[in-house]
Amino acid sequence: MHLLVKGIQHRISSEILVPNSKYHAHRALILASLADGESRIQGLSDARHVEYTVRLLRDLGVQIVREGDTFVVRGLGGHYRPVRDTVSAGSSGTTLYFMTGLAALSNRAVTITGQKYFRNRPVGPLLRALEKMGVRLESANDCPPLHVLSHRPTGGEVTIPGTLSQWISGLLLLAPFATGPTTVTVTGALNERTYLELTVAMMRQFGLEVTVAPDWRRFDVAPHQSVRPTELTLPPDIGSAAFGIATAALHPSDVLLRGMPSLTGGPADHPEFHFLDIARAMGVPMELDPVAGGVRIQQDAPLLKAVDVDCRDVPDMLPVLTTLATFAHGESVFRNVAHTRLKESDRAGVMLQLNSMGAELELSDDTLRVTGVDSLVGAELSSYNDHRVLMSLAVASSRARGHSTLSYPHAYRISYPGFLDMMNTVGVPTSVEKGPARSARSRARETVREPVRSVADPDHACEVTLPEWLARHAASRPGDTALVDVRPDGDSVVTWSDLAGRVDKAAALLLELGVRPGENVAYQLPNRLEFVVLSLAALRIGAVCCPVIPFFRARELGFVLRRSMARVLVVMDEYRSRRPAQEALALAATGGPDTAHLEHVVVLARSGGGSRPPQPPPGGVRLHDWETALKATTVDRAALDAIRPTAGATAQLLFTSGTTGEPKGVMQSSSNLVRAVSMEIRHLGLGPDDAVWVPSPLAHQTGFLYGMTLATVLGVPQILQSEWDARRALVSLNAHRATFVQAATPFLADLVKAVEELGEAPRHLRIFVATGATVPRSLAEHASEVLGTKVCGAFGTTETCLGALSRPTDAPERRWGTDGRVLEGVRLRVTDDRGEVLAPDAEGNFEILSQTTFEGYLDRPDLTAEAFTPDGWFRTGDLAVLDESGYVRITGRVKDVINRGGEKIPVGEMEQLLFRHPAVDDVAIVAMPDERLGERACAFVVLKDGALLGFEEMCRYLDGHQAAKQYWPERLQLVADLPRNPIGKVQKFELRARARHLRPHMQ
């Protein structure tokens, strides 16, 4: 089903009855339920979220009846008497946040739940604050269902992030019933202050005392207060009226909004009253009509002006304001919109759909810019089941030429059940139609049906090179998003057509610099657009991609340049606190063997504009600015098209990051790379509606292959982030609807922490494939709950690509409790030191036989030979256990084995056990020398903030888990962090070096 909106060109006129405020209704009903006596709340709200509050209060024993347009509430004097063990908040966040703490006032324990999808909403910060107030509650994953025990709160000093005003309001509503005084202090950015002002005003109206600091960051509430029964009338709901106002503002009109007694007010009247001020500033001709009893909008020709708005006080109004700004003269700027991106949907991001109708919107992390246009054309849009987005896009569609269709057509009922009637009453034909509406993306899929099918057929897909996949997408869906470049100064969205044009330009530049097919092109770039452009450009002309990890310094860079013999190097002028261009030129200035083949250094500015590269060193190295060089380059398409790289040619030279020693140059063909991602696409069921988030370095195989290459083959957006920041990552995930990511443990752990701190989970992320290092099982389990996504275990190497991967449909203990199941087309085995294949469930050397195995190590036939068994299987260097179903568990590295007096310690198992200790944030176990036993185990441990752990406590913990004493680490070494390479693997060789000088705590 979909909502059909027909654009109109005629004058509209009618009367609109503005409903009553749902915000006041929630608060008034809850406070009345706590009063000792009868309260009357006049002016019913028919919003579905208010119905959820009424139902939940009734299930707590509160009598609520309707008399005409009045709620009659017989309060229970601060004590609930539940009639059910489990009560539901439905899909109302307000109901959940307000009632979780108040449920403790019940005379018995009660469980609060919600609709199925609602049970993934994290409320950790609120729960922690309630616990500090003395509320006793239980939650398996900081999400509903929440089991709240009967226990009056004690009060105390509580801190809470200012992310959501509803969390703070939930604490304030509970505090008067505590046995001691309560102080609530807000930390971080304070959003939605007007909603807090409404809560406090309503509490005072019911006789409760709250002392508020001038900056609204501290609240003091006395204990043992009583709620006074009250009679009040709910004011009009400006949040609903906004859609009638916006509709009338976009057309010649004569519309009366009945029930709005004034155009002025304050937070106590309605938290969204600022919308009226903004609408008037935009030129909406609103006039009070006291005779008719409402606000009238009358005009012959719409003429709106651009505005500059701080959205912190009106976050819910951003969608409808965006609609108005779309038709305003000039550029409107909406600032501080990050919070709006953590609502029911990413409200700033989804409004970018207006661009498909001819609008001009540009979004950065915290700012939305809208340049007004004269008209739009009808389109097929998604509301993402967000009531405000649905209504705002519908209003915009009323001004479009032709018809528009929107998904989730009934979302408006959540807050404004009369919306559909309002639209039709004023003369905008709007209806719910049966049958799915085909999106533009669906039509694109039909156009390229054969290529889309082929991406999940490895034998077919591997015959098509990456530049050919790019060309297909650019031809079939030129305007679709191919790449999103997320940077601190704003997000940049690139279409398939634009990406193809940039690639041709860069390919022409490489040809001008003398690069020829088969040559290695070296580039040291973070995750940004230019990395993808340069990679595809090199492949376009048959050259070999030789990316360098951004963290590498002169020593490692020199090694890569010497071994690759690259004549062209592309680097940043600045990266974090370093100047890579200067470092590279200083290296060239030495005249040593590292840069003997280097001829050109191309410098890319961090800001994206032109750079001012340092002076070139004496000698033959020539210096270029990336942007300047591109502008001066002419694309000879005939020359480009004349170069036809084959799928079997070497496409990638990747130097392993080296957890054990000198990096080795791994050579992979295009056929191998494309086959590998096609195998994963088929295994996971990825499709054209996915979007790939790429936090892993593109210069490492995880990011290069299962980020950039996968997205390019599948033909879906890839979302890049150049500088890792978990909070910005969370915003980007939601802003650009990322559904899939493959990354290592640190990215998973940091994202979990960000979600716990911000209280908002990724809303679209379906699959997180955890690779690069063994992921602690307890972290994977916790992450699955906190992120609301499927965390899948996997195993792969740079040399073989993925060999094992679990599926989202696997049982949890298989999905994240193993390192995956053998992929179709791959064979796995476990052998003993003599090469004999071991029976299932026995630990041994882990080996792989795959069609995606590399060509060999660059110029090292000796190392290549050592990497394979006599019968052609690749030696991974890992220890593993393989079960009968093909699931593998990596138990350690062969070189990490600790031989304690002839007894091999199961390092991986002990690390997993220690990781589950509540004080442990990270752990790695390595061998330390011992004269008597040869080796003993030393545990390097990173503690969680404020946690303590001693050696004896560690031993008691291991003893309590029945771990054999011979396996216990005999030294506990606390460290600030573990040394890791750029993709998250612990560099145990460095820890072993530290452990050489350590001695056991006890012999």
Q: Which residues are annotated as a binding site for phosphoenolpyruvate?
A: 22, 93, 121, 166, 347, 388
Position 979, amino acid: P
Nearest Cα neighbor of 520 from 503, 540, 542 is 542
Task: Specify burial of residue 108 (Cβ count, 10 A radius: 0-12, 13-18, 19+).
Answer: exposed
Nearest Cα neighbor of 23 from 276, 191, 235 is 235
- β pairing state of 767-770 and 740-743: parallel
Residue ranges of the alpha helices (H) in 356-489? Answer: 387-397, 419-426, 440-447, 449-454, 458-461, 466-476
- β pairing state of 920-930 and 934-943: antiparallel
Cα–Cα distance for residue pair 631/699, rounded to 1 Å: 26
First to last CA, the chain: 72
How big is the chain, counted in residues? 1003
Cα–Cα distance for residue pair 655/854, rounded to 1 Å: 12
Cα–Cα distance for residue pair 497/958, rounded to 1 Å: 58
Cα–Cα distance for residue pair 31/174, rounded to 1 Å: 10
Nearest Cα neighbor of 149 from 114, 119, 105 is 105
Nearest Cα neighbor of 484 from 527, 444, 535 is 527
Cα–Cα distance for residue pair 807/769, rounded to 1 Å: 9
Please give the distance of CA 872 from its chain centroid, rounded to a whole number.
41
Sorted by sequence, the CB contacts under 8 Å of residue 861 that are 6+ apart come out as none
Nearest Cα neighbor of 537 from 567, 561, 517 is 517
Cα–Cα distance for residue pair 775/890, rounded to 1 Å: 10
Q: Is 313 a catalytic residue?
A: no
Other CB atoms within a 10 A radius of the CB of residue 298 amount to: 15
Cα–Cα distance for residue pair 284/303, rounded to 1 Å: 8
Contact 64, 57 (CB under 8 A): yes
Contact 929, 998 (CB under 8 A): no
Gyration radius of the chain over CA positions = 31
Token pair belonging to 847: 């080996």
The dihedrals phi and psi of 635, each to the nearest 5 degrees, come to -85, 115
- Tokens 């009598």, residue? 63
Please give the distance of CA 670 from its chain centroid, rounded to a whole number.
30
Of the residues 316, 491, 819, 878, only one is catalytic, namely 316
Cα–Cα distance for residue pair 652/338, rounded to 1 Å: 38
3-state secondary structure of 731: helix
Q: Which residues are catalytic, by number?
A: 316
